[in-house]
Structure 1
Amino acid sequence: MEYILLIILGFFAGTIGSLVGLGGGIIIVPALLFLSAGSSLFTGINPQVAVGTSLIVIIFTGLSSTLTYMKKKMTDYKSGLIFFIGSGPGSIIGAYVNKEFNLASFSLWFGIFMIFVSIVLFLKDKIKPLNQSSSGIARTYTDEKGQVHTYSFQPVIGILIAFAVGFFGGLFGIGGGSLMVPAMIIFFVFPPHVAVATSMLIIFLSSITSSVTHIIFGNINWLYALALIPGAWYGGKAGALLNMRLESKTVVNLLRLVLILVGARLIYQGLL
């Protein structure tokens, strides 16, 4: 019974994660902790195991959705690889720091982090983008309607932001997309669909590096991971296909809603 629930959970997390560029960890981690606390079917799940198992699953969600986005030429590979220079080391450090959390403190800080990101997204139209630089990396993207979008960023600033993103991704087992997508949209004016697609590439690469640290620490429940992966793989494809059918504003609004709901639930759990 528990493995059927995990397959369904994996599909749901993969779909939501790929749709808004989060990787699915914000669904998997709190769900595993909730199931462990509320059901005798799930045992031995602490914050470290929930995060480590989530990151293993996110590797497959990231790969699945990235392959789907690649076919539509929505992924900015050059920017993604530059950001990974920062997010890779950051994810390893975050995974190492994760071992200091207990369940209550993890839930509380994870929830606060989610709410913070959602607030930043609400304020994004009032924040001046940091893309006005002749010496930065300029990129263009032509959407399906033929509209040309131009965006740019300073590599050093991008790498520093990506380092912070990778740190929180390894710390909370979320792949970092919850911060990378708004960062790309707010600071560098990435088109939302390109931000989501590129975020999934970064999530795929960063999850591999941070997973190695968790494997070394023994923070993986391999049976649960194997049950989650098939659903996450197909969910990643489904979310990517759904993303392509939605307006950019809808994608951002969905991202806000997911972050607020999960954040509020985690804060409540942490305070209890």
Structure 2
Amino acid sequence: MFYGLAVMFLVIGLFAGIVGSIAGLGGGMFFVPALLYLGNDYLPGSVSPQVAAGTSLIVIGVTALSSSISYLKQKRVDIQSALLFFLGSAPGAIIGVYLNTLLPIKAFTLMFGLFQLSMFILMMVKDKIKPRSINWEVRRQFVDSDGVEHEYGYRRSVVVFVAFLVGITSSLFGVGGGILMVPAMIILFRFPPHIAAATSMLVIFFSAMVGSATNIIHDHVNWLYAALLAPGAWIGGNLGTLIARRMKGKTVVLLLRVLILGMAIQMIGEAVIK
């Protein structure tokens, strides 16, 4: 029984680590449903939404650390922007843990699913929107592997506010926050997809540590399940960065669209069925 469980969690961690690393998501959109489903049907003892989210956030930190180390070596991480995003996401991560125990989760799940659906639609039509010049407070440049120069930027106050919302969502659902952060980086601030995914992983690591510390204080972590998921997540995080290195930006965006739509359907479905 234990060996079968260990293999199952290793596969889940590996898959989530690979996909999460490529798209800059962290993998929580796979960890939380897996923990809730397996915990309530197959594993000894039940797994509450709070424990599923808290355990997921611990493993997300492992995936994000593994991916961040690799992305930093590839020089794809905008460290300055990552620290600014973390400035907003850190307090949001703490608040998200508390909201997890206070808010009616069904209503928030439905709202989150509808928001993800709107993000999917926006990403589908964004390429058809005529680009306009933006008076960014901070301007950044990046040259991709094809020699194409990309310019992106932001206002610091907007970044902190967006990151604060991402931090709340990250801890509330245990999804890592990348499912919101990467689209925001691409759509609002015009980050190149590869830089958005890589930078997001570093922010997710910092935020996951803050959220995890709060979850540990509230005893919202199942350490056995976290230990079983972590090895696969670490390996998957490394493999994901290697795969992403060979992928075009458009492919990363396509994968992100599919994942966002899948999560939207999942969240809306859970809210309606429960």
TM-score normalised by length of structure 2 = 0.92
Return the offset for 1:42: 4.8
- The yes-or-no answer on 1:6 pairing with 2:9 is yes
Equivalent residue number for residue 164 of structure 1: 165
Equivalent residue number for residue 180 of structure 2: 179
Return the offset for 1:149: 1.1
The size of the alignment, in residue pairs, is 270
Q: Summarize the alignment of residues 29-108 of structure 1 with structure 2, pairs less than 5 Å apart.
A: 29-37=32-40, 39-100=41-102, 104=106, 108=110
Please say which of residues 111-120 and 15-24 is displaced more in the overlay.
Answer: 111-120
Cα displacement string for residues 130-160 of structure 1 (whole angstroms, at most 9, x for unaligned residues):
97225x1111111111111111111111111
* Aligned counterparts of 1:159 and 1:111: Cα–Cα separation in 2: 23
Return the offset for 1:100: 2.6
Equivalent residue number for residue 25 of structure 2: 22
TM-aligned CA distance change 1:229 to 1:71, over 3 Å: same
* Aligned counterparts of 1:197 and 1:170: Cα–Cα separation in 2: 20
Letter matched to residue 13 of structure 1: A
Return the offset for 1:115: 2.7
TM-aligned CA distance change 1:140 to 1:157, over 3 Å: same
The Cα RMSD (Å) is 1.9
Aligned-pair identity in percent equals 47
- The yes-or-no answer on 1:242 pairing with 2:243 is yes
Return the offset for 1:73: 0.5
CA contact (8 A) 1:192 1:248 kept: yes
TM-aligned CA distance change 1:270 to 1:25, over 3 Å: same
* Aligned counterparts of 1:83 and 1:130: Cα–Cα separation in 2: 24
CA contact (8 A) 1:35 1:42 kept: no
Unaligned runs of 5+ in 1: none
CA contact (8 A) 1:46 1:103 kept: no
Cα displacement string for residues 93-123 of structure 1 (whole angstroms, at most 9, x for unaligned residues):
1111011357755654553343333233223
CA contact (8 A) 1:117 1:178 kept: no
CA contact (8 A) 1:87 1:167 kept: yes
3-state secondary structure, aligned to 2:84? helix
Q: Summarize the alignment of residues 94-133 of structure 1 with structure 2, pairs less than 5 Å apart.
A: 94-100=96-102, 104=106, 108-125=110-127, 132-133=134-135
Letter matched to residue 238 of structure 1: L
- The yes-or-no answer on 1:217 pairing with 2:180 is no
Please say which of residues 141-150 and 222-231 is displaced more in the overlay.
Answer: 141-150
Letter matched to residue 99 of structure 2: V
* Aligned counterparts of 2:9 and 2:44: Cα–Cα separation in 1: 10
Return the offset for 1:213: 1.2
TM-score normalised by length of structure 1 = 0.92
* Aligned counterparts of 1:91 and 1:49: Cα–Cα separation in 2: 15
Return the offset for 1:267: 2.5
* Aligned counterparts of 1:76 and 1:250: Cα–Cα separation in 2: 21
